[in-house]
């Protein structure tokens, strides 16, 4: 299981519990913990996140209420799904084609450009540290020849959290890592040269977003996020045209 920053121990237990819900919920929604998996023990969660048993139990209770996990007495707590079936989400089968991916990117442009602008106005030093952690993990994945879907989603999630508006972060968590296009397309083992070139450009675009948010420049953050997502959309559109042309030959 991937590591995370310890939660600040001086915060109120309720705040800590909600942050723990976010962290565990993210792992479930982005596939690091899948339905059927058993959650770590209370003691393991306490040690990883630096929280009390009371905080862990409150967080587990909230995850149960949202339909993400169930506790089997004497056995442990298990992931049972992706949450309330009535909640808005984009299922894997809804991102099966290039057309589907482009539609999701259009949604993200509307959501995340304004999130970036708000993040620039409201971000904290801790928000910046979390974003920097995601960017460093992205760069490390590239250096090791791996894809970077997890760090990519983490960066966008941290931008949403930096708005200090929980609805942005909750919606991003609900969408999950499946909204990162290559989580569905081009999932071959390893990273090809073309993929690596794409990821290097994406990483540079992320750095532009980070710089604007760090400088508290809302207009620049909005523009940098729009450029990043619009570039991704255009790359997918070109791929769709190329695929159609090849099919017609």
Q: Over the stretch 129-176, which tens digit does the pLDDT of each residue have? A: 999 999 999 999 888 887 788 889 889 989 999 999 988 887 887 777
Identify whether 182 is part of a domain.
yes
* pLDDT of 238: 73
Q: Are residues 166 and 96 in the same domain?
A: yes
Identify whether 2 is part of a domain.
no
Q: What is the DSSP letter of 182?
A: G
Whether 119 and 159 have beta carbons less than 8 Å apart is answered as: yes
The answer on pLDDT for 44 being more than 90 is yes
Q: Strand 69-72 relative to strand 76-79: parallel, antiparallel, unpaired?
A: antiparallel
Whether 40 and 46 have beta carbons less than 8 Å apart is answered as: no
Helix/strand/coil for 165: coil
Identify whether 3 is part of a domain.
no
Q: Supply the DSSP string of 86-146, one letter for each residue.
A: TS----GGGG-SHHHHHHHHHHHHHHHHHHHHHHHHH--HHHHHHHHHHHHHHHHHHHTT-
Q: Are residues 141 and 184 in the same domain?
A: yes
Q: Are residues 149 and 190 in the same domain?
A: yes
Q: Are residues 66 and 170 in the same domain?
A: no
Q: Are residues 118 and 171 in the same domain?
A: yes
Of 77-86, 92-101, 153-162, which has the strongest mean pLDDT? Answer: 153-162
Q: Which tens digits make up the pLDDT trace of 178-214?
A: 677 664 444 444 556 777 888 889 999 999 999 999 9
Q: Are residues 117 and 240 in the same domain?
A: yes
The answer on pLDDT for 225 being more than 90 is yes
Domain range enclosing 70: 13-79
Ranges assigned E (strand) in 118-225: none
* pLDDT of 91: 59
Q: Are residues 226 and 158 in the same domain?
A: yes
CATH number for the domain that contains residue 37: 1.10.10.10
Identify whether 227 is part of a domain.
yes
Q: What is the DSSP letter of 185?
A: S
Number of other residues whose CB lies within 10 A of the CB of residue 62: 17
Whether 80 and 35 have beta carbons less than 8 Å apart is answered as: yes
CATH number for the domain that contains residue 215: 1.20.120.530
Please report how many Cα atoms fall inside a 13 Å half-sphere around the Cα of residue 90, on the Cβ side. Answer: 22
The answer on pLDDT for 124 being more than 80 is yes
Q: Are residues 219 and 193 in the same domain?
A: yes
Q: Are residues 148 and 73 in the same domain?
A: no
* pLDDT of 94: 64
Q: Are residues 201 and 122 in the same domain?
A: yes
Residue-averaged pLDDT of the chain = 81
**Number of independent structural domains in the chain:** 2
Identify whether 99 is part of a domain.
yes
The answer on pLDDT for 123 being more than 90 is yes
Q: Are residues 74 and 157 in the same domain?
A: no
């Amino acid at each position: 299981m991937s590591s995370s920053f310890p939660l600040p121990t001086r915060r109120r237990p309720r705040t800590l519990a909600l942050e723990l819900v976010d962290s565990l919920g993210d792992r479930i929604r982005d596939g690091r913990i899948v339905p059927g998996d058993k959650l770590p023990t209370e003691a393991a969660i306490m040690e990883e996140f630096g929280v009390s048993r009371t905080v862990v139990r409150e967080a587990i209770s909230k995850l149960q209420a949202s339909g993400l996990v169930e506790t089997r007495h004497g056995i442990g707590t298990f992931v049972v799904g992706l949450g309330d079936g009535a909640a808005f989400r984009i299922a894997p089968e809804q991102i099966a084609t290039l057309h589907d991916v482009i539609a999701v990117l259009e949604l993200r442009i509307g959501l995340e450009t304004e999130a970036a602008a708000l993040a620039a106005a409201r971000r904290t030093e801790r928000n910046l540290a979390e974003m920097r952690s995601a960017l460093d993990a992205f760069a490390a994945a590239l250096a090791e020849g791996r894809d970077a879907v997890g760090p990519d989603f983490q960066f966008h999630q941290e931008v949403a959290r930096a708005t200090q508006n929980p609805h942005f972060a909750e919606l991003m968590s609900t969408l999950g890592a499946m909204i990162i296009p290559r989580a569905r397309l081009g999932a071959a083992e390893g990273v090809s040269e073309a993929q690596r070139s794409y990821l290097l450009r994406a990483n540079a675009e992320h750095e532009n977003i980070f710089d604007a948010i760090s400088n508290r420049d809302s207009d620049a953050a909005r523009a940098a996020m729009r450029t990043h997502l619009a570039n991704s959309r255009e790359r997918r559109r070109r791929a769709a045209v190329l695929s159609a042309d090849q099919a017609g030959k």
